[in-house]
Amino acid sequence: MAKREEILDTALDIVARVGYSRTTVRELAQAVGLSQTGLLHYFGTKEQLFVEILRRRDEVDQRVFGVSGDGARTEPADLPRAFTALVRHNTEVPGLVQLYSRLSSEAAEPDHPAHAFFRDRYDQARSEVATFVREQQAAGSLRAGLDPERLAVMLFALMDGLQAQWMYNPEIDMAEQLGHFWELVANGPGKEEVGPAPPTEPAANNSGGQR
């Protein structure tokens, strides 16, 4: 429905600019020429409206970057680069980062209206990334010893954790950190990742002394 699409696109823009906590149903309704009741007619509840905003965000991200936060992808070989570009873009839409972080935390309660959305989103995301890893292993581009499922869990834990830290400290370069993760995945930990070498024991003195 055209009006529903208009509402979601308008809401994406408003939330990206002003943030989840400052966005009201009344403001969104006014922006698209509807009453609050008229707007919620398309979504049922405020919570479902914000879930659909996140769903639309995933659709837009996949179209623009070739990948979205739910793991859906259009360019499998470029998934690491696409995810890194997506994370870099997220710094330009702090309101949507706030919406995702707040709502995903609140939805951890099983009876929350958005619980099923986030549960299914995580399941799909992990499955898509695990499939990508297996494809790259079969092509010889990734080490055979990597566990695809564990790697997928680690990736989304890292991405969500980076977003949480970035909201407290915007100086954290999320894209750089994610890029480093992909380097470790591709190459294994380098010598610098192992930790400092143990201190060298002082050489024992020659019992006979110097001549």
Convert the pLDDT of each residue in 144-183 to its tens digit: 999 999 999 999 999 999 999 999 999 999 999 999 999 9
pLDDT recorded at residue 165: 97
Give the pLDDT confidence score for residue 81 in this predicted structure: 87
Which own/partner contact pairs does 149-153 have at CB distance under 8 Å and 24+ positions apart?
151/185, 152/125, 152/126, 152/127, 152/128, 153/126
Residue 79: pLDDT above 90?
no
Work out the percent of the chain whose per-residue pLDDT is above 90. Answer: 64
Domains, the chain, ordered by start: 45-188 (1.10.357.10)
User: Residue 74 pLDDT > 70, yes or no?
Assistant: no
pLDDT at 21: 86
Residue 114 phi, psi (nearest 5): -100, 5
Judge whether residue 75 has pLDDT over 90: no
Measured distance CA(152)–CA(59) in Å, rounded: 21
Q: What is the spatial distance between Cα 55 and Cα 69, in angstroms, rounded to a whole number?
A: 10
Tell me the C-alpha distance between 158 and 172, whole Å.
Answer: 13
Distance CA 129, CA 155 (A): 9
CA angle 160, 162, 164 (to 5 degrees): 70
Nearest in space to 178 (alpha carbons), one of 72, 87, 65: 87
- pLDDT, tens digit, 9 for 90 and up, residues 107-149: 999 999 899 999 999 999 899 899 999 999 998 889 999 999 9
**Calpha distance 94→16 (Å, rounded):** 6
